[in-house]
Amino acid sequence: MRAKGREVHASTHLHRRVMILDRELLERPGELRRIVVHELFHFVWLRLGNPTRAGWDALLRREKGSGELGWSSEWRKRERPAFGSRRWREYVCESFCDTAAWLYARLKRHKEFTLGGEARRRRAAWFQAMVEGRPEGLRL
């Protein structure tokens, strides 16, 4: 599939509760898992609430350097969106979903996992705090 000149493997329509996946993913189970987890976490993002989303935003604002945990956030990050802009908010959401896919899709390696180790550890700790319901841990 293609969208706005970019190849895409999936699309989620949140308000219609529909996810569309490229059929070719059936031939690549690891990639299918990674992309399905990413798309499912768009639904999580929608339900998080503003304080939790703001915590993720704050975590990303403190990160230095390049790299990401998926192409959908990587290309947005490379555009260097202004903090608080619509493009920044899109990056924040995609980064959340790519991080979830890195954490939960059970892939040890992927060519799109380019984020450095320290940033990965901080993101994993943030997710751990979110899952465990520890709001104080969301302000890493």
The pLDDT tens digits for 12-54 are 666 777 667 677 867 788 888 998 899 899 989 988 989 999 9
pLDDT of amino acid 9: 60
| Secondary structure letter of residue 16 according to DSSP | T
Task: Determine what percent of the chain is predicted with pLDDT higher than 90.
Answer: 59
CB 1 within 8 A of CB 7: yes
Place of tokens 């190849």: 7
The pLDDT tens digits for 61-117 are 999 889 999 999 999 999 999 999 999 999 999 999 999 999 999 999 999 999 999
Q: What is the pTM of this model?
A: 0.83
Q: Residues near 35 by Cβ (< 8 Å), separated by ≥ 6?
A: 9, 10, 21, 25, 101
Q: Which two tokens stand for residue 37?
A: 């987890």
